[in-house]
Structure 1
Amino acid sequence: MSSFSLKIIAIIAMTLDHWNIILGGSIYMRILGRLAFPIFSFLIGEGYRHTRNKKNYFLKIFFYSVLLQIPVFLFYSSNEDLNIFFTLATGILFISILENNKMNKLTKFLLVLFLVIGSEYFKFDYGAYGVLSIVIFYNFRERKQKIFWLFLFINIVYIYLDRVFLIQIFSLFSLFLIFKYNGKEGIKNSFISIIQLIYCCYIY
């Protein structure tokens, strides 16, 4: 399964989930929606791994996060959660810190600890759970069993901390799709990519 196919599945799942919240409906749509974020977490790491300019990749995601948040602050409330692109950008930053060979271990530890705590304190969408998911998928992409157990672990921890998070356990089913990834990009078209991005921004 290509990254394009995974992206389409994630977008469909996300759309059904969000429309279900707005219109009200079946719990099954909410469950289906749990597939979206883990797939996006996996794909953001793959994008980072294959990009030629990692700095620009991070800055692009961060730019989207700020751009999307401005209308939320203007028309809703400054107390709203920060959008998912902040989570994705933080996950990328976390990975870049881990891969920086110029930093000592203590500095790395303090920086990633700050990112994890900050993602909760500033109310990023999915918070530390989201950031850690990105790191797990990226760091252990060749070790499927380890991904399964670590992803299961953070889900259990968050369910224990907040029972509202219980439905997120169904996100484990996304692993069946992610593990089918063949390392190929699939359909590559700049226009389609732009449409996908605009649509994702609109939905979020």
Structure 2
Amino acid sequence: MSIKTKFINSNALKLLAVIAMVVDHASIWLVPDDTTLAIFARGFGRLAAPIIGYMIAEGYFYTSNKQKYLKRLFIFALISHFPFVMYFGLEWWQGTSVIWGLFMGLVALAISQTTYISRLIKVMIIALCCLLAWTADWNYILVLWILFFGIYKGQFKMQMISFAFIGTVFYILPGISLGMDYAFHFGILLAIPFLALYNGERGKSSALIKWGFYVFYPAHLLVLYILRYFIFA
């Protein structure tokens, strides 16, 4: 695809992911599970995780300070934990937010790019990252997506093949086995055409854009929590 036909920058992709995320999370509360609307709303919501995962992998190669990048994700993973479990009605130990999965995926990618440890040690640490992400939203699937988005940096076809394979084996097929109510799992594949239109450019840069997603994630969960359990209860 010609670069001229790729007109979506990273800011636009992140905005799309944020909209999909809000629709998905709000639909859990507002839309009954066994309806067509729920399938469409949650299917659209499946765009969020793969797009943000792709952006995390991109960010690894473009950031000027990888340690700060990791630190930022780690801090917001901690900040987002309680808004996540509160909104989804979980005990504090039963799960954690997608930010933790993004952090572990970034750690796995960073380990894969090192040159001073053996391949066996890399595999062991990456496996540990997958294990540590087990209770996070999107768990080890997101870790593997980020890992292979980074490993195949510059090879879009291989990125999408690995993305589709991981998503199909670990997400779509288990969903099919649970019935038609889980048809929304196919929504992850909707990310492919949007990523194909990504032009590799950041777009306008500002502190709001840089920090927007990190702040918005826990904030929108708190707002939804207040609306769900206090205002419209």
Q: TM-score, normalised by structure 1?
A: 0.89
Instruction: Give the drift of 1:171.
Output: 0.8
Which runs of structure 2 are paired with 1:87-166 in the superposition (5 Å)?
A: 87-120=101-134, 123-158=135-170, 159-162=172-175, 163-164=177-178, 166=183
Q: Which position in structure 1 is the counterpart of 2:16?
A: 9
The DSSP-based 3-state class of the residue aligned with 1:198 is helix
Q: Which position in structure 2 is the counterpart of 1:200?
A: 217
Unaligned 5+ segments in structure 2 are: 1-7, 222-233
Percent identity, please.
25
Instruction: Give the drift of 1:170.
Output: 1.8
Q: Deviations over 1:88-118 (max 9, x none)?
A: 1101100111111110111111111111223
Q: Distance in 1 between matches of 2:141 and 2:85?
A: 24
The answer to whether the 8 Å contact 2:27/2:42 transfers is: yes
Q: Distance in 2 between matches of 1:173 and 1:184?
A: 21
Which runs of structure 2 are paired with 1:153-192 in the superposition (5 Å)?
A: 153-158=165-170, 159-162=172-175, 163-164=177-178, 166-192=183-209
Q: Distance in 1 between matches of 2:82 and 2:15?
A: 27
Quickly say closer, same or farther: Cα 1:160–1:85, change in 2 above 3 A: same
Q: Distance in 2 between matches of 1:117 and 1:40?
A: 20
Q: Which position in structure 2 is the counterpart of 1:77?
A: 91
Q: Distance in 2 between matches of 1:47 and 1:148?
A: 18
Q: Deviations over 1:77-96 (max 9, x none)?
A: 12331111110110110011
Give the greater-gyration-radius structure (CA): 2
Q: Distance in 2 between matches of 1:76 and 1:170?
A: 25
Q: Which position in structure 1 is the counterpart of 2:29?
A: 22
Q: Distance in 2 between matches of 1:12 and 1:32?
A: 9
Q: TM-score, normalised by structure 2?
A: 0.79
Quickly say closer, same or farther: Cα 1:72–1:9, change in 2 above 3 A: closer
The DSSP-based 3-state class of the residue aligned with 2:141 is helix
Unaligned 5+ segments in structure 1 are: none
Count residues with an aligned counterpart. 202
Instruction: Give the drift of 1:38.
Output: 0.6
Q: Distance in 1 between matches of 2:147 and 2:186?
A: 18
The DSSP-based 3-state class of the residue aligned with 1:32 is helix
Could you say what the CA RMSD is over the residues aligned between the two structures, in angstroms?
2.1
Quickly say closer, same or farther: Cα 1:37–1:104, change in 2 above 3 A: same
Q: Which position in structure 2 is the counterpart of 1:39?
A: 51
Quickly say closer, same or farther: Cα 1:72–1:183, change in 2 above 3 A: closer
